[in-house]
């Protein structure tokens, strides 16, 4: 319930799951304490914020120190996700850029770093599903 709409009141949730408002409050508090609920955030529409270019980058590096250096990109607002991966690359980066010029500037910055072997870009044309994990 909360994964779909975190703005629901404890009273509304209680009606759905047949629990009292205090019982729902206690359960949510426990889920937060146990780390099941990491945070409650607003999911923003990137296109409406002017970041219309969704791109996935697969970066191959020559060493883990080069990969670590790339993890500093987490501070940039256009970087939505960073994952170290097994397979053909070392790092998977989800980028939501304003336009091709800003994406190109980011690509040039990444490619100029010592230890970066290659960068492959995959520009999303359409997004049909985008969500976080859901409970069973």
Q: What are phi and psi of 103, to 5 degrees?
A: -65, -45
Q: What are the strands, taking DSSP E only, across the chain? A: 53-61, 79-84, 91-97, 116-123
Class of domain 53-123: alpha beta
Domains 1-43 and 53-123 share a fold: no
Find the angle CA(127)-CA(93)-CA(132) to the nearest 5 degrees.
50
Diameter of the chain measured on Cα atoms: 58
The answer regarding whether domain 1-43 maps to CATH 3.30.1050.10 reads no
Contact, 53 vs 122, CB < 8 A?
A: no
Given pLDDT bands bounded at 50, 70 and 90, which one contains residue 10?
Answer: confident
What count of other Cβ atoms lies within 10 Å of the Cβ of residue 113? 15
Q: What is the pLDDT of residues 50-76, one digit of tens each?
A: 778 999 999 999 998 898 889 989 999
Residue 1 has a pLDDT of: 64
Given pLDDT bands bounded at 50, 70 and 90, which one contains residue 6?
Answer: confident
**Residue 61 or 47, more confident:** 61
**Distance between alpha carbon 128 and the CA centroid of its chain, in Å?**
16
Residue boundaries of the structural domains of the chain = 1-43, 53-123
In DSSP terms, 95 is beta-bridged to: 55, 79
Q: Please name the residues in contact with 51: beta carbons below 8 A apart, sequence gap of 6 or more.
A: 78, 96, 97, 98
């Amino acid at each position: 319930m909360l994964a779909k709409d975190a703005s629901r009141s404890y009273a509304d949730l209680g009606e759905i799951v047949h629990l009292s408002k205090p019982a729902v409050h206690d359960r949510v508090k426990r889920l937060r304490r146990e780390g099941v609920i990491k945070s409650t955030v607003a999911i923003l529409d990137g296109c409406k914020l002017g970041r219309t270019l969704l791109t996935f980058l697969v970066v191959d590096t020559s060493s883990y120190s080069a990969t670590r250096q790339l993890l500093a990109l987490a501070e940039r607002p256009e970087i939505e996700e960073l994952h170290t991966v097994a397979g053909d690359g070392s790092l998977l980066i989800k980028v939501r850029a304003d336009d091709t010029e800003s994406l190109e500037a980011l690509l040039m910055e990444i490619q100029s770093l010592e230890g970066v072997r290659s960068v492959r870009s995959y520009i999303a044309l359409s997004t049909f599903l985008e969500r976080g994990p859901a409970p069973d």
